[in-house]
Structure 1
Amino acid sequence: MKTIRSLLLVALGCLFSSLGLAEYPEKPITLIVPYPAGGVTDLTARALADSLSKHLPQPVVVLNRPGAGATIGGGVVASSAPDGYTLGFFPLAAAVPEVFRFRYTAPYTTTDLKPIASVAATAMSFAVKADSPLQSLKDVVELARKNNGLLIGTPGPQTLPSMIMVQLSKKEGVKLEDAAFGGDAKTLPALLGGHVQVGAIDYSAIKSSVEAGKLRVLAVCTESRVDFLPNVPTVQELGYPLPYVSSLGVFGPKTLPADLVKKLEDLVAKVTREPEFIGKMKSLTIQTSFKDSAAYQQAVLRDRDNLETFFREQGLYNK
């Protein structure tokens, strides 16, 4: 009798497995990063993959698929099988490619992706030299008013700080213009060398200069104050809304089953509360910022609509 019972249990186990009810994951999960290795997005994804792997029977493996404005990696996830084995770790640009249609055409749109969980947020900052007389963003506005304009070092037009500058200029009636350096690696030496009085740079790129007493941060472009700069206000506190939140999160294809979304969402929530992961984020000067699937989807759609409105008002869709 015991032998028959054992055989029945084995047969039922095989049946359930064949019906797709086996424990997920049965094989490694690929986490697509749409940028080259070594950047903030990649390093954050690798920290997340390492932490997730400790709670799963199979590893989470990062695969870099850069190019075409992050849409190559985004397209891989959007077109993947909805089985949970191909996921994406994306910034907003990869999640809402259609709003950048004035630059490139993507093979997918926001609705082809399923937001699973927000993980972290980067901290773009407005900074000055430590000996600058500018003590606040209000001082920057008054200097621009006094001088009939001010150049601010930025990554370039249509980036988060540049968009904040457009809104700030409109609200305050001053002229703030981009000194577009193309990235932090060029903006930082320009700021330190006095070629611009104010620079918009991700805090990760200026942390050592701030700690060495060479630079000061006037404001951060985040939803709330960041743990590593608790005394620095956000631009929102100062009355200038964020056009979008510079977040990083996990995505899957749009038809990913609800049970897999829930399992992954719960696992990410657990990891983002763990001291080891939080410590890794602090070492990267990244703010841990968890949102569940529903809240994250709402945030992504809000930011997509804000970007669409902003770019339309700038006339970028008419060119």
Structure 2
Amino acid sequence: MFTTPLVRRLCALLLTAVTAVPSIAAAASYPERPIRFVVAYPPGGTTDLLARRLAKELSSSLGQSIVVENKPGAGGNVGAAIVAKAEPDGYTLGVGTAGNLALNYVSYANIPYDSRIDITPISVLADVPNVIIVAGKSPLKSLQDLISHVKSTKGTFFGSTGVGNGPHLTGELFKARIGADSTHVPYQGAAPEITALLGGEVDYGFDNLTSALPFIQSGKLTALAVTSVSRSPSLPKTPTVQEQGLRDFDVTAWFALFGPAKMDPAIVAKLEKAIASLKTNKDFLEALAFMGAQPQLSDGKALQELIEMERDRWPKLLQEAKVQLAK
């Protein structure tokens, strides 16, 4: 059948309009059933606390319940893989971190998903500095005390919340920068690490500020330094690592919402809008401040750029520091 270019263009536009109708309809009715948030870390840690608070606020704005499921393992890779392999219908979402979305690629072999292509980025939710901590009863009261102790004492140990995640890599970077050795002891999350610190199993530790903050405020832990460029508003008297002599030391943990690849853009936009509305939610912002976190509440584009930046940055950072991790 003979057709003119104009007719072909009109047919193409009509086809586009017809295929867009189901997407618009799906987004308009979304969510029609409960949403699942997969947290790839144990209960009680920063990611878990943030996910539960986010679930509470979004369930209210979206008009549907949100169930938080903890699926820890392999530094967060287990939970992230569950999300990456889920149906891209918007009903299985992940609350992820710099660890399982970027840093793990320098410390784990054969990760079963690629955060550059196997996920749909939705939002950078918040960020928080890592903190260098010791037991409150420790004689170490400053970062210089710790550096002197590690350099002069054989057989020191530092704890973190797992293998290959942000706190662990922060510890490895710290060791390299001070030119001294210390044995890493990984724990399955913040709670057992803090218990180990309080019990004297390790000399010092690295954690997200959120998990450690209540123990610091109670005096059970002492914060020697925060790893961000600026001091944390939650710990204004605690200096940064850079202030105490280690130049260019900048490590900030971040937390994000993501879904499987190929999610409906209209559903993603609806989620981005719901998250952006939290910028004026006083209760949510106060909850973040209580956790020592700074709100970001960005869109998917910002998360994609952050993943790219971190995945490019950490291999170079560890190579420059001559840190070698066994995969």
TMscore range, shorter length: 0.7 to 0.9
Task: Tell me, in whole angstroms, the C-alpha distance in 2 between the residues paired with 1:97 and 1:129.
Answer: 27
User: Which SS does the other structure have where 1:55 is aligned?
Assistant: helix
Contact 1:77 1:86 in 2 (8 A): yes
Structure 2: any 5+ residue segments left out of the alignment? 1-17
The 5-angstrom pairing of residues 214-233 of structure 1 reads 214-222=220-228, 224-233=230-239
2:247 alignment partner, one of 239, 245, 251: 239
- Aligned partner (choices 116, 120, 129) of residue 122 of structure 2: 116
1:66 pairs with one of 61, 68, 71? 71
| SS of 1:290 mapped into structure 2 | coil
State which of 25, 32, 37 in structure 1 corresponds to 2:37.
32
CA distance in 2, matches of 1:297, 1:81: 20
How far did 1:309 drift? 4.4
- 1:26-64 CA distance string (max 9 Å, x none): 5135233143673332332222122112222x3152252
TM-score (norm 2): 0.74
Asked if structure 1 preserves the Cα contact closer than 8 Å seen for 2:150 and 2:156, the reply is: yes
Alignment CA distance shift 1:239-1:85 (3 Å): same
- Report the counterpart of residue 7 of structure 1 in structure 2: none
Is 1:166 aligned with 2:169?
A: no
Which string of whole-angstrom CA distances, capped at 9 and with x for unpartnered residues, describes residues 229-252 of structure 1?
122233355525346x42221112
* 3-state SS in 1 of match to 2:158: strand
Point out where structure 1 has 5 or more consecutive residues left out of the alignment: 1-14
The answer as to 2:158 corresponding to 1:152 is yes
Could you say if the C-alpha distance between residues 53 and 139 of structure 1 is closer, same or farther in structure 2, counting changes exceeding 3 Å?
same
Provide the rounded CA distance (Å) in 2 between the counterparts of 1:83 and 1:194. Answer: 47
For 1:188 and 1:65, the matched residues in 2 are separated by: 20
Aligned residue among 300, 303, 308 for 2:307: 300
Q: Does 1:94 align with 2:100?
A: yes
Identity %: 27
Deviation, structure 1 residue 24 = 4.4
Q: Which one-letter code corresponds to 1:241 in the other structure?
A: F
The amino acid of 2:66's aligned partner reads V
Aligned residue number for residue 145 of structure 2: 139
Q: Does 1:49 align with 2:55?
A: yes
1:178 to 183, 186, 194: 183
**SS of match in other structure, 1:166:** helix
Distance 2:70 2:216 in 1: 33
Structure-1-length-normalised TM-score: 0.75
Q: CA deviation at 1:150?
A: 4.3
Moved more, 272-281 or 183-192: 183-192
- Note the C-alpha offset of 1:303: 1.5
For the residue of structure 1 that corresponds to 2:131, the secondary structure is: strand
SS in 1 for 2:258: strand
Q: Please report the RMSD computed on the Cα atoms of aligned residues, expressed in angstroms.
A: 3.6
Q: CA deviation at 1:300?
A: 1.3
User: What does the per-residue CA deviation read over 1:75-111, in whole Å, with 9 as the maximum and x for residues that have no partner?
Assistant: 3433445443432221233324871674554145432
- TM superposition shift of 1:209: 3.4
* Separation in 1, partners of 2:176, 2:318: 15
Q: Structure 2 CA distance, aligned partners of 1:205 and 1:68?
A: 18
What secondary structure does 1:111 align onto?
coil
Change (3 A) 1:310 1:178: farther
The answer as to whether partners of 1:37 and 1:64 remain within 8 angstroms in 2 is: no
Number of residue equivalences: 301
Aligned to 1:255: 262
- Give the secondary-structure state (helix, strand or coil) at the position aligned to 2:30: coil
